[in-house]
Amino acid sequence: MKSKITEEISEEKENSEERKRKIVIPGEVIISGDDYLPGEGVRRDGENVVANRFGLAEIMGRVVKVIPLSGAYVPRRNNVVLGRVIDITFNGWLVDIDCPGSGFLPIAESPRFINQHEMDQFLAIGDIIAAKIWGIKGRGIDLTIKGKGLGKLEEGFIFRINPSRVPRVIGREGSMINLIKDNTGCQITVGQNGWIWIRGENIESSLKARKAVEYIADKVYIEGLTEHMEGWFTKN
Amino acid sequence: MTTKRPSGRKASEMREMIAKVGVVPNADGSAIFGFGNTIAIAAVYGPRQLHPQHMQDPSTGILRVNYDLLSFSVSDRKKPGPSRRSQEISKVIGWALLPVLDLKEFPNTVIDVQVYIPQADASTRVAAINAAALALAHAGIPMKDLVSAVSMGKIDKELIVDVDKDEEDYEEGEGATDFPIAKISNSDEFTLLQLDGKIQPELIKEALLMGKEACDKIYDVQKKALKEFVK
């Protein structure tokens, strides 16, 4: 009996390399059996492993999870996000990062010393920053701008895509975003909250980069998207 | 058996249903659902920070539903703005949906559901529930299951499924009864039971069984709409 189970598991592992995915809706049974472990967006209901939200079901070895296809951004620790400064308090900045709860950037988290009376010279209301989430407490999200590529974003423009499409835009180990950067020569920062900042040498290249990002966000379900985009750049 | 339905439908025959998700680009989740000439559009925003602050609940997120008829949706112009009726139906829709939602993950937040009826031909609250359930799923809110809703009815002595306006206004014999129900799709639990009119106690059981069958058909339509979101 035991060997049968291990056999099944090893079989499943082989299958998982093909990455069989299917769309599931809340309450739908993804798979039955005691061998599977419910991951994110999935719960166990007796024999069955049931989806808890709408998305793509993925079975990786024994773990079953649901990858979201839509919906609002839910903040996670260590995410890089883009945000807009909406208020200056005595010890930091309040930042709108487009998610439940407001972001707070303490004065101590800025890379250099800033006089409390001249905070608006460093970051004024309306400025856009790239920041990293370093902690999520009951109410409020703590941000930091210490780190490479973080801080105030000047020039260029920002736009939004659906936060669930961000992983595809970045690609495996940044392959996709580097492809766009190489082909357009633009500076691009992608926030996990779906805000994207682009600064290019000229308007044409920045607009092309934006078009590429929006194309990827639209064609998110194609397999082998990086190769597809290489073709896209030679055509356009 | 011939029926008394003005539309000529069979007793258990529903109007043609339409369902589609992702119809409101600015919302986090949205859906349209229609029974024949009744159409409901639902948009979900959030989870997002709840204001005023005193309404915030640190143990869970809350659901806020706003249902309304658009002024051109009915033959006599409906005065725009909230009314007693729309407030009541908003509350009832919220209660019908809450049992399947799990908002513990989002403390101090609110999920706003806006449901509007651009075209009304009775059964608007059940169309609204179906659309709202689809929109919530599309918004990626953790849900145990979907909710399907249908309005049962009785004209004279006959039980019918999916009441339209002519049937709602039926006056002969015992008159018309409107009996909207909502059911959790993969279980036999009901989340909404309302009754307007007269019905024999023994008929209620029969009506619920008929309603269950109708809900299964609606669930298939909802399921299809969500799966088709990804072409």
pLDDT digits (tens, 9 = 90+) for B70-114: 999 999 999 999 999 999 999 999 999 999 999 998 888 999 999
| Residue B47 predicted with pLDDT over 70 | yes
CATH 3.40.50.970: does it fit domain A2-68? no
- Please say if the pLDDT value at position B41 is more than 90: yes
> Smallest CA–CA separation between A141 and chain B, in Å?
12
In sequence order, which ranges of chain A are alpha helices (DSSP H)? 2-18, 119-122, 166-170, 175-184, 203-218, 225-235
Shortest CA gap B141–chain A (Å) = 6
Residue A9's pLDDT is 44
Give whole-number Cα distances, A164 to A68, A147, A174, B73, in Å. 6, 24, 16, 35
In whole angstroms, give the CA distance from residue B221 to residue A89.
Answer: 51
> What residues does B38 pair with on adjacent strands?
B35
The strand ranges marked E within A46-194 are 48-51, 55-60, 63-68, 80-89, 92-96, 103-106, 128-136, 141-144, 151-152, 157-160, 187-190
The 10s digit of each residue's pLDDT in B183-198 is 999 999 999 999 999 9
CATH code assigned to A80-152? 2.40.50.140
Whether the pLDDT of residue A13 is over 50: the answer is no
For A157-235, CATH number out of 3.30.70.2190, 2.40.10.10, 3.90.1150.10, 3.30.1370.10 equals 3.30.1370.10
Closest CA to A93 of A106, A81, A102: A106
Which residue of chain B comes nearest to A96, CA vs CA? B49
**Closest residue, chain A, to B28 (C-alpha):** A71
Fold of B17-222: Ribosomal Protein S5; domain 2 (3.30.230)
As given in the structure block, the two tokens for residue A41 are 């967006």
Q: State both tokens at A21.
A: 């995915």
In this predicted structure, what is the pLDDT of residue B51?
86
In one letter, which amino acid is A15?
N
Listed in sequence order, the residues at least 6 apart from B184 whose beta carbon sits closer than 8 Å to its beta carbon are: B99, B100, B144, B145, B146, B147, B190, B191
pLDDT at residue A19 in the model: 53
Does the fold of domain A80-152 match that of domain A2-68? yes
- ipTM reported for the complex, 2 dp: 0.87
- Give the count of beta carbons closer than 10 Å to the beta carbon of residue B123: 29
Mean pLDDT of A82-93: 93
Task: Pick A221 or A213 by higher pLDDT.
Answer: A213
pLDDT tens digit string along A16-39? 444 567 889 999 999 988 889 898
Nearest to B230 among A23, A52, A139 (CB): A23
The domain spans of chain A are: 2-68, 80-152, 157-235
Instruction: Considering only the beta carbons, identify the residue of B22, B28, B226 that sits closest to A25.
Output: B226
